Amino acid sequence: MAAISQPVQQQFKPVKRSFWQRAARDLTRNKGAYLLLVPVLLYYIIFHYIPMYGAVIAFQDFNPARGILESKWIGLENFVDFFNGAFFSRLVINTLSINLMDLIFGFPAPILLALLLNEVRWAPFKRLVQTISYMPHFISVVVVVGMMVDFFARDGLINNLLRGVVGGTPIAYMSDANWFRPLFVGSGIWQAVGWGSIIYMAALSNIDPSLYEAAMVDGAGRFRQLLHITLPGLLPTITILLILRLGSMMSVGYEKVLLMYNPLTYSTGDVISTYVYRRGVLATDYSYSAAVGLFNSAINFALVVGANWLSRKVNDTSLW
């Protein structure tokens, strides 16, 4: 029996292939799927990876006439100038303050909306609320800021309502530095809360309904079900999105800030991205603005890696 079974075992012994052999075999078998990936890969290679070579101008006294290869190399001089600059502390504080406010108030807002909508049992009302909350996402930032200028002007809707209810003198909200951050974050929440709740609604739909039925049999109320079933079911999604959000703690979109701020609100509204725009585009100081942008990206990358490492240690949920 042993003499007969040994050749049979050798006959059906799996053949070990190298990585490149397995890759070539998979490419041949699924060539149609890989062909669909070609436009996406070309997009990222052409518009995201190749331009990364231009980051080298952060270490140069870049001259467009000479180009990258012939511009003078100055090392870390641009970074030192930025760190010792008069606006460094203001830019970092403003950027972090806006992001912290958005993290504290803006990040939980879609979660709360999704949880509230999940408790609604009348489908028509639920769809109506979802539609109304989604609509601001499709409004242009220019239109949103224009609405804010009209509503928060001295003779605008907000001042007229407040004057009719509590009296007092009108406030120029858009020209008051103390109101810049609340208006920026609040308008961002209004515009994004409905759209951001979609992913949480999808995560809620994947929770097994039998868990709620078992909890009801055990006498758990709606609040207990929320604490012990709904929130644990949302936790992986919340963790992943929180890691991604922490990766942009040093970034604030310059478009909305440029539309909102003015010299009276520079003290609280001027952020790193707007400073890069002024120095790089308006002042044509490309090397200096590239150094500031590279510093910003390096901090964001470090935050993503750190948040991912901490999340993997705490609850085994991470991006990689």
Q: What residue segments make up the domains of the chain, in order of their start?
A: 80-315
CA distance 243 to 319: 8
pLDDT at site 183:
94
What's the average model confidence in pLDDT over 301-315?
Answer: 87
Instruction: Kindly tell me if the per-residue pLDDT of 95 is higher than 60.
Output: yes
What's the average model confidence in pLDDT over 77-82?
Answer: 92
CB–CB of 271/95 below 8 Å? yes
Which region, left, alpha or beta, applies to residue 160 given φ > 0 means left and ψ of -120 to 50 means alpha?
Answer: alpha
Please tell me the pTM assigned to this model: 0.82
User: Shortest CA distance to 129 belongs to which of 142, 137, 120, 138?
Assistant: 120
CB–CB of 61/71 below 8 Å? yes
What's the average model confidence in pLDDT over 91-109?
Answer: 94
Percent of the chain at pLDDT exceeding 90: 41
User: Shortest CA distance to 217 belongs to which of 229, 206, 205, 207?
Assistant: 229
Work out the pLDDT band at 1, boundaries 50, 70, 90: very low
Instruction: Kindly tell me if the per-residue pLDDT of 26 is higher than 80.
Output: yes
Which has the minimum average pLDDT: 47-61, 85-99, 159-173? 159-173
Tally of CA atoms within 13 A in the half-sphere of 304 that contains its CB: 16
Percent of the chain at pLDDT exceeding 70: 95
CA distance 212 to 88: 52
Widest pairwise Cα distance in the chain = 102
pLDDT at site 147:
92
Which has the minimum average pLDDT: 36-40, 107-111, 166-170, 179-183? 166-170
Work out the pLDDT band at 257, boundaries 50, 70, 90: very high
The kind and range of the H/E element at 196 are helix 177-205
CA distance 320 to 13: 34
pLDDT at site 18:
76
Q: For residue 275, give Cα distances in angstroms to 92, 120, 288.
A: 11, 45, 10
61: helix, coil or strand?
Answer: strand
What's the average model confidence in pLDDT over 185-195?
Answer: 94
Q: For residue 261, give Cα distances in angstroms to 94, 106, 178.
A: 13, 20, 12
Both tokens of 198, joined, read 């979609």
User: Shortest CA distance to 269 belongs to which of 133, 9, 105, 94?
Assistant: 94
CA distance 286 to 284: 6
Sign for the pseudo-dihedral over CA of 19, 25, 29, 31? positive
What's the average model confidence in pLDDT over 73-99?
Answer: 91
What's the average model confidence in pLDDT over 238-256?
Answer: 88
pLDDT at site 11:
54
**Residue 90 CB neighbour total at 10 angstroms:** 16
- Under CATH, what is the fold of the domain 80-315? MetI-like fold (1.10.3720)
pLDDT at site 106:
93
What's the average model confidence in pLDDT over 75-98?
Answer: 91
Instruction: Kindly tell me if the per-residue pLDDT of 139 is higher than 50.
Output: yes
pLDDT at site 103:
93
CA distance 18 to 297: 37
User: What is the separation, in whole angstroms, between the first and last Cα of the chain?
Assistant: 50
Q: What angle is formed at CA 157 by the lines to CA 153 and CA 161, rounded to 5 degrees?
A: 120
Work out the pLDDT band at 263, boundaries 50, 70, 90: confident
- Interacting residues of 179 by C-beta distance below 8 A, sequence separation 6+: 152, 171, 173
pLDDT at site 91:
92
The kind and range of the H/E element at 287 are helix 286-315
Q: Tell me which residue has tokens 């970074």.
A: 79
